[in-house]
Structure 1
Amino acid sequence: MSNANAGVSWEEFLSEAHNDLADKQSKLVADFQLGEHERFDWDQENGTLVFSNDGKIAVIAKVQFVGSISTKSNTWLWSWANSYIYDNVKDQMHIVREFGESKGYEALFTDKWEADEIDGWEMTSVTSYLLEAKGAYRTTGETGFTYMVITDISWAN
């Protein structure tokens, strides 16, 4: 990554990261029909997100967990601060935290803070940008949302 964002405001950086992720998401939808598969399953141990149809695996993605939004506490929690997230699916997240520390972008290095769904997508956009990910995915649970970036993706045989 270059120093293209040296001296760039937080808002400008967020906008650039958001636009970058929007382009990547369009490509993922076109190339892998994300959002159209019947089912998804994540496997932290293997670091994968698997999409399937009629019980057959269609697409396999490698992922890094970014963080989660709790709709109960209205907070964001970075994956590195979540003891339930395996190390192998958050081992690149130090890049985001260190970047935030170097730029003084508090949202990128504060473990937990008041947030909503939009904040979750913003943090995911930034992570995708910094990790040069292929795109992102969000899952919904009873108490909120889990965000991850896709670092590699392919059709199953």
Structure 2
Amino acid sequence: MGHGEQAAHDHELWESLVSAARDRVGQRHAAMVSDHGLSGDVQYHWSMDDATISWSRDGRDSLHGRITMIGSVDHVQQTWLWSWANDSLPPAVLGDITDVRRYGEERSFPLLMSPSFRAEQKPVAQARIVAADVLAAEGLWFEPGDELDLHFAIHDLRRV
């Protein structure tokens, strides 16, 4: 069997994995948003130092959760950087992100193993979805910025 066939097979495996992960994460994320009313004009605050996120309505906290930074997109460089490859992050916000890298290494999925890659829409979406699935996250959170977009997984939601 030639090298090309092996790569094609791996690609198929990756695509089916992403598809299954998208279904699972999509359902959990939709449930998170509807169960906790996270659409509309809800205020939120997050902290990387202690890896927390909280939502409030009318100035009162209503929901707390834990965040894992998955990665960031640099608008200038046009690159995705995995949080496990980012030395500037507080340890708390890394959570179990190395499990995602290990998952990629065990299955030879380059996207999960390389510290960064070109931030095109498809690979970024795939990286987020698979990371959220491996981490069994309740949902995903996206924080757009002028220079950096931040991508978080959300865990351990509890009403206050």
Bucket of the pairwise TM-score, normalised by the shorter protein: 0.7 to 0.9
1:22 to 20, 26, 32: 26
The CA RMSD measured in Å over matched residues stands at: 1.9
| Percent identity between the two aligned chains | 24
Q: Give the deviation of 1:50 after TM superposition.
A: 1.2
Pair 1:32 & 2:54 matched: no
Structure 2 Cα separation of the partners of residues 21 and 153 of structure 1: 15
What corresponds to 1:5 in structure 2?
A: none
Determine which structure has more spread, i.e. the larger CA radius of gyration: 2
Deviation sequence 1:71-124 (CA, Å, 0-9, x none): 222110000111222111113011100110111101101111111344333212
Pair 1:66 & 2:70 matched: yes
More helix by share: 2
Matches within 5 A, 1:4-153: 9-153=13-157
Structure 1: tracts of 5 or more residues without a match:
1-7
Structure 1 Cα separation of the partners of residues 80 and 154 of structure 2: 20
TM-score norm. by structure 1 comes to 0.87
Which amino acid letter does the alignment assign opposite residue 136 of structure 2?
A: E
Secondary structure of 2:40 counterpart: coil
- Which of structure 1's runs of 4+ aligned residues deviate more than 4 A? none
TM-score norm. by structure 2 comes to 0.86
2:158 to 149, 154, 157: 154
Secondary structure of 2:144 counterpart: strand
Contact 2:111 2:123 in 1 (8 A): no
Structure 1 Cα separation of the partners of residues 126 and 41 of structure 2: 25
